[in-house]
Amino acid sequence: MQETIQKKLIGGSFVVSQIQASEVFIPEDFNEEQRMIAATCQDFLDKEILTRLNEIDSQKDPGLMPSLMDKAGELGLLGTSVPAEYGGFGMDFNTSMLVAEVIGGGFSFAVALSAHTGIGTLPIVYYGNAEQKAKYLPKLASGEWKASYCLTEPDSGSDANSGKTKAVLSVDGKHYVVTGQKMWITNGGFADIFIVFAKIEQDKNLTGFIIEKSFGGITMNEEEHKMGIKGSSTRQIFFNDCPVPVENMLSTRENGFKIAVNILNIGRIKLAAAAIGASKSVNKLSLQYSKERKQFGVAIGTFGAIQFKLAEQFVKTFVSESATYRAGQDIEDKQNELLAGGMDEIQAKLKGVEQFAIECAMLKVHASETLDYVVDEGVQIYGGMGYSADAPMERAYRDSRINRIFEGTNEINRLLSVGTLIKKAMKGEVDLIGPAMKIQQELMAIPDFGAAEPEGFMAKETKQLSQLKKAFLLVSGAAVQKLMTRIDEEQEIMMFLADMLIEIYVTESAILRTQKLSLSKGAEAVSLELAASKLYLHTSTEKIAFNGRQALQSFATGDELKMMMLGLKRFTKQEPINVTALRREIVKGLG
């Protein structure tokens, strides 16, 4: 079913390929300069942000967040992805991801900064013309101007292209007059620049505009009262006959929806990195508290129930981190491949991210749900103090929840990941049909019970992973064959398939990371990573089996169902392991 190849720079191809460990990027590959950048970010958080969290969340001083953004701008943190010629650092993709990870531990400030540097600035970086870039990017990189992104409307959330905001060309042809309402606008209260999407006349698709606050005709509601990220400015913005010079159209007419989609792809994987940073912070605090808090005369960290939580916090974060930076490097490598082929630099960067839209969507889901798990267990480890606003977990718990809604809900991203993979298969970009047919033939054959056991470091785990890929191809192939073009309408089935796909990718990433580390350090030096990978493989196999059963039972019946259920059971079979011993080993390894 699989071929051992050099890394395929085709998004989604992981499900039919076996990648070599030496071909993937792992966090341990970051060089000294990149680690220094991360340390600078952490130092900024420690000194400027984490000491003022209550003050930030109170929003009593409306100038506080902008002033903190100014300080971040002085350090260059607002220009990570802005080209050097416009005053930025022009960082490569994975370095900008590393910055997003560290800043991700900054609660509301992280939201403000990521909105500015991501969805607020990147549309101009990627789609602005030379004049627009020269005018806006230097001031956005320095922090002199703050940016926000205006897409969502009261009646258009996930269905963004249904927005009703209108742009009408003035009689003299010099301005577009923009009228409409936008909501949930991050940084709305202090932004100088708004990236706004509107429809011209009866256009089917949105058009993007760069609107300066100084243009006039802009009003806004008071700050929204939110469950979490209370220090992040969130406003409803009203454009009331706002005059926008025609030269401030972003890209071309009706290209706005494409801009939104491509920028959201970047936003999704950057959000994954930020969620990983927040998860690491909470895991660290949980571990520290478990050593300090004593009950019955001993530290609670010695109790098995607490060790279970600490281990699971670490393992889920480790796996999500492994997958996120693997995908980040794949994006960067694809961009470089396209550049080497003669493609324009901006187009290469956009196409590179677009190629891995499946992975971006999956990682947004996995990392945000990992963070929700980590903070929930963090509250539990802290006990009563976890519920107190005087301890760190209460804020972490509230702030985490928005990440499953940001950048497209997790439901939308699940549907997107599988839907995009199926479309790639239909276009012949990823061959799912051939491997799926081979699996059906394999099911009809007699199993080779005398096959030799694989040898080598994590060979058994690699073999088990290949079986999980067969499980996905079995279920997804049968679903597509049965439902054909109607599969998009069966959202429950699509969600089950998405969860199988996500688990395969992140599990493989953890295994590859551990294997690559062993190549440089030796097997004995990666006992913590090995235990984490084994434990996650065990739990992900169970998840894949569960979701596979749920999917099959949703469309198959009779003998067909029985046969496929037997096949699924065969491909998700695993040897029993002592999961308790693994978790205890992990906690011991954490120190």
**Within 10 Å of residue 506's Cβ, how many Cβ atoms?**
27
Strands (E), 6-91: 17-19
Backbone CA torsion sign across 290, 291, 293, 297: positive
Residue 272: alpha-carbon gap to chain centroid: 3
CA distances 207 to 149, 174, 187, 303, Å, are 13, 17, 21, 58
Q: Which amino acid would we find at residue 464?
A: Q
Q: How far is CA 462 from the centre of its chain?
A: 25
Structure tokens at 417: 């990941």
Residue 490 DSSP class: -
Closest CA to 508 of 533, 530, 486: 533
Question: Closest Cα to residue 9, out of 363, 267, 433, 326?
Answer: 326
Q: If DSSP codes are grouped into helix, strand and coil, which group holds residue 268? A: helix
Whole-angstrom Cα distance, residue 493 to residue 501?
Answer: 12
Q: How far is CA 254 from CA 7, 55, 357, 393, in A?
A: 36, 42, 21, 44
Q: Which residues contact 36 (CB under 8 A, 6 or more apart)?
A: none
SS (H, E, C) 160-179: HHHCCCEEEECCCCCEEEEE
Q: 413 burial class (0-12, 13-18, 19+ CB within 10 angstroms)?
A: buried
User: Could you tell me the end-to-end alpha-carbon distance of the chain, in angstroms, rounded to an integer?
Assistant: 41
Note whether 492 and 532 are within 8 A (CB): no
One-letter amino acid at 187 equals N
C-alpha to C-alpha distance for 355 and 436, rounded to whole angstroms:
23
Distance of CA 378 to the CA centre of its chain: 21
Whether 575 is a known active-site residue: answer no
CB neighbours (10 Å) of residue 334? Answer: 23
Buried b (16+ CB within 10 A) or exposed e, 254-274: ebbbbbbebbbbbbbbbbbbb
Q: Are 16 and 469 spatial neighbours (Cβ–Cβ below 8 Å)?
A: yes
Instruction: Check 101, 407, 503, 529 and give the catalytic one.
Output: 407
Distance (Å, whole) CA 530 – CA 541: 16
Catalytic residue annotation: 407
